[in-house]
Amino acid sequence: MSPRRVIGIDTGGTKLLGGVVDDDLAVRDRVHRLWRGGERQEVLDLIVDAVEEARAAAPDVAAVGFGIPSLVDRETGASAFSVHLPLDGVPFRDLMGERLGLPVFVDNDANLAALAEQRAGAAGGARRAVMLTLGTGIGGGVVVDGALERGAHGGGAELGHVVVDMDGPPCQGDCPGRGCLEVMASGTAIGREGAEAAARQSDSALGRELREGRAITGGLVTELAHDGDPAACGVLELIGERLGVGMVSIVNAFNPDVIVVGGGAIAGGELLLEPARRVVAERALPPSRDQVRIVPADFGEEAGMVGAAILALEEGRV
C-alpha cells in the first residue's frame, strides 16, 4: 500500500515553502516562491500556483494544509488579521477549497511549526512546548498536552508581539504596537542592526560589504558572523540578548519544558541562542529558568510546511 500523501504549504511574510508530505512525514516535490509586497489577488494566485505545481508531481494527494501568517478563525477558516500579507477578512479555507477542489485545512503558520516540532522534532514528548519562528517577523506557537493553545478566538500565542521595550520602535507591518519582540529580534532586525553596525565599523568585514554596495541583510550578517567578523558577531549577540528578554516573559508565563527556535534566522545558531539562554538564566524566575531547554528546531525552515501537512493528516483523517 502506497503512503498517504498531502500537500503542506507554509506562507511567510516574504516567501512560500511547500511540498508533498507522506504520512511518515517524508517530504518530496518541494515548491518555493518569493514575494515582495503585492495585492491580495496576486498573493492568492501565487499560493494556488504553488499548490498546483506540487499537485502535478503527486496527483493522488488527499488534502492540503496551509500555515498562514494570520490570526485564523478556527470555526470558519478565515484570516481575521494578518500583519505581513494582505489577507485580512479572506475566507481562506473556503476560497482555497473552491479553487483547488480538495479538502483544505488552515491555521497560523507558527502554530503549525510548533505542532511539527512537538509531534516529531525538537520538542518531541514535551508536555508544554513553545515555538518561536524568526524570519521577516516572529511567530509563536504553544502546545500543551499535545494540543495547540490557540486562544479564545484563534488569536493566541502571538509571542512575536510580546512587548520588550514600551518606548521601542514601531512594530512591523500592520501591528499597532511599539517595541515588540518582532521588531527587536527578527531576521529583519538582524539586517537593520547589521546595516547600522556596518556604518559605524567601516573597517569590519560588514563595513566593507556596505562600502562595496552590497545590501546588508540578516543572511549576510549571519554569514559574516560565522566567519568570525566581530561587528557581525556583535549584532547576533545583541539580537540574541533581546530574544532572551522576550523569552523571560515566556518562561515566566508558561513554564514550558522547552522553547524551540526556528525560522530562517536560526541559521545564527548558538551565536543567537547562547546569549538568549544567558539572559533567561539571569532574569527568569526559578525554578522555571533552570528547567526549560532552549533549542533549535529540528525541521529548520521547513517546520511550518511539515506542520501544515500534519494538520491535514490529523484533522482530515486522510
Instruction: Return d(Cα 295, Cα 20) in angstroms, integer.
Output: 27
The reported pLDDT for the residue numbered 107 is 95
For 275-285, give one letter per residue: b (16+ CB within 10 A) or e. Answer: bbbebbeeebe
CA atoms within a 13 Å half-sphere pointing along the CA-CB vector of 234? 14
User: Contact 289/177 with Cβ under 8 angstroms?
Assistant: no
Does 27 reside within a domain? yes
Domain that holds residue 89: 5-113+302-316
- Do residues 180 and 194 share a domain? yes
131 and 247 in a common domain:
yes
Which position has the higher pLDDT, 74 or 37? Answer: 74
Domain annotation covers residue 225: yes
User: What's residue 3's pLDDT?
Assistant: 55
In terms of domains, do 266 and 290 share one? Answer: yes
pLDDT tens readout for residues 61-90 = 999 999 998 999 988 999 998 888 889 999
Cα 226 to Cα 270: distance, rounded to the nearest angstrom? 10
38 pLDDT above the threshold of 80 = no
Residue with cell 499548490: 51
Read off the pLDDT of residues 172-220 as tens digits, 9 standing for 90 and up.
988 999 999 999 999 999 999 999 999 999 999 999 999 999 999 999 9
Q: pLDDT tens across 174-186, in order?
A: 899 999 999 999 9
| Residue 130 shares a structural domain with residue 189 | yes
- The CATH number that applies at residue 171 is 3.30.420.40
Contact in structure between 53 and 34 (CB atoms under 8 Å): no
Q: What is the pTM of this model?
A: 0.91
Q: Which of these, 116, 123, 94, 120, lies nearest to 106 by C-alpha position? A: 94
